[in-house]
Chains A and B, each alone.
Chain A
Amino acid sequence: MKNYLQLNLSLLYWILIAPFSGQFFKIAPIFRQMVFIGVRAAPMVALTAFSVGVTLAMQAAHSLQSLGAEMYIPDLVMITLLREMGPVLIAVIVIGRSGSAVAAELGTMKVSEEIEALEVMAINPVQYLVVPRFLAMLVMLPALTIFGNYIGILGGWAVCRFALDFNTAGYVMRALESADTWDLYSGMIKSVVFAWIVITIACNAGLNVEGGAEGVGQSTTASVVQALLAMLVTNAVLTGIFFFSA
C-alpha cells in the first residue's frame, strides 16, 4: 500500500510539477503506449460491447415483453451501457489485456535489472516507464469506453431491429430520449477513475516484483485481481455518489 501511494504521488509530481521545472516527459512513448493499450484492444472491446448490447436487449426483451413494455428496451440498453456496463466491462477487458501486459512487462524489466540500470543512468523509472503508460491509459480507456458504448448500442439495435421488428429511427429516438448527458459523463468519469486505478495497480505490481520469473507471474496475476476488485469497489462507490446520494 505504501509503495502504491508513493507511486501515485510520484506520478502526480512527474505529470503536474516536473514539467514546470523543465523536466518534460517524452511524447513518443505515450503514443506508442496508446497504440498498445488502446488501439490494439479495440477489436476485443468491440466484440465485448456488441455482445453486451445484444445480451442486454435479449434479456430485457424476455422480461419486458411479458409486460407489453418492449418499447423500454432501448432505454435499458442505453442507460445500462452509458452508466455501468460500458465503463466496467471495457475496464475489465483492458485489465485482462493491457493491465496484465504492463505488469508483466515492468516486472520482467525489474527482474532483469533494467530498472536498476535506468536508475544508474539517472533516469527516473516512473518518469520514463510509468508516466507514458499512465497518460496513455488515461486517454485510451475513456476513448475505448465511448467506442464501446456505440458498439453496445449497435448490438441492442441489432436485436431490436431484426428480432423485435423495431423501427431504427424509433430505437434511436427512444435511446436518446431515455438518457441525458449526465449518464454519459458519469460513465466517462468512472472510466477515467478506472484507468487511473488499473494502470497504477499494474505499474505498482510490475515495479515491485520479487523472485524472478515466478514472481513476475504471481505479480501479474495479483495485479489483475487487485485491479478488478479495486475497479468494482470503486464503481460501487461512484455509483452511490452519482446516482444514490443525490
Chain B
Amino acid sequence: MKRNLSDYLVALFVIACSVVLLAALTFALSGYRLKKPRRTLQINYEDVTGIKIHSEVRYAGAPAGRVIAMRHLTAKEREASANKKDAVRVTVSLDEGIPPLPTDVTATLSSDTMLSPKFVALSAGTPGGQTLANNAAIEGHPAYGLEQITAAAGPLFENANRLLDNLNLTVKGLKVDLDQFTPKLGPLADSLKLDVDNLQNVVKNLEGMSKDADKVLGTADTFISTTDKQLQEQMKQLHVVLLNLKVVSTHAKALVEALAEKPNRIIFSGKPAKLTPESEILKSSKPLPAKKP
C-alpha cells in the first residue's frame, strides 16, 4: 500500500509537471498575451514578405514592439486606400515607453543583414508637430530586398542586351565601311607623304629666312642703339643752344627797344638798363620782358 501511494504521488507529480510544462510551452509558442497592448499602430503594405506574427518593431532603430496581427485588405479597403497597391494590413503593438509618434513617421520593412529576419522599421519623424493617434493607420513602404532589386534589374539587363545588339550591328557596319575605305587610304597616304616632304622643305626655307631676319634685326638694333646715343648727345647740345638762345633773344628785345627809342645810343652811351637776370629767363616757361620794371 505504501509503495502504491509513493508510485501514485511520483507519477501524478510527473504528469502534473509535464502538463504544466506543455501548457507553458504552448502559451509561449502561441504568442498569446495576457496583457492586451494599449498602443497599436496599423500599417498598410503592398508586400510583407519576411514579416510574421511576433516580428520585431523598431522605432529609430531601437526595439519598440511586436507585430501582433496581419490580415489581407478587403477589396473595398483597397479601393479606399490612398495607395491602391496596398494589400496587407499589419498591426503592431508599441511598448509603453515609446513616445508619441509624429505624423511624418515612415514604416519600412528592413533587416540587419541579408540573412537576418525582417522587422518593421519606424523612422524617428520630426518632433514638435502633430502626433499619430492610437491605432492610427499609416502607409508602409515595401522592403527592397535582393529579389526586388533583381526583378527591377531585369528590364535594365534587357535594355542593355538590346543596346549591345545595336552596338554589335553598328560595329559590323563600321567594319564594312572601313573595309571599303582602307584601300583608298594608300594613295591618300602617298600624296600626304609628298605634301609632308614639301612642307618640310618649306619649313627648312622658313628656318633659313628666320635666321636671316634675325641677323637683319640684330644689325638694325645695333644701328638704332648707336644712332640713339648720337642723337641724345646732339639733343643735349641743342638744349644748351636753345637755353642760350632764350637768354639772348630776351636780352635782344632790350637792345631792339633801345635802338627803336634812341638809335644814337649805339654811339652815345646812356644810363645802363637793368636787364632781367639770366637765371629767371631760364626758369620761366613764358616770355619775359627784357628789362626789369
Contact = CB atoms under 8 A, between A and B. Distances in A.
Given A139-B15, A176-B28, A68 B8 contact: no
B25 A32 contact: no
B116 interface: yes
Given A139-B15, A146-B22, A147-B18, A35 B10 contact: yes
Q: How big is the A interface, by class?
A: 20 to 34
B7 interface: yes
B113 A184 contact: no
Q: Give the interface centre of A31, A32, A42, A142 by most chain B CB atoms within 10 Å.
A: A31
Interface string B29-45: 11100000000000000
Interface in B11-63: 11-12, 14-15, 17-18, 21-22, 25-26, 28-31, 54-55
Given A68-B113, A69-B115, A146-B18, A181 B11 contact: no
Contacts of B30: 180-181
A157 interface: no
Interface string A167-200: 0000000001101110111001000000000000
B269 interface: no
A225 interface: no
B116 A34 contact: no
Contact of B54 (A42, A67, A177, A181): A177
Given A28-B4, A34-B7, A140 B29 contact: no
Contact of A146 (B3, B21, B54): B21
A150 interface: yes
A18 interface: no
Contacts of A39: 10-11, 14
A143 interface: yes
A28 B7 contact: yes
Contact of A180 (B8, B11, B29): B29
Given A67-B115, A146-B18, A184 B11 contact: no
Given A35-B11, A68-B113, 12 more contacts: A31-B4, A34-B11, A35-B7, A38-B11, A142-B18, A146-B21, A146-B25, A147-B18, A176-B28, A180-B29, A184-B25, A184-B29
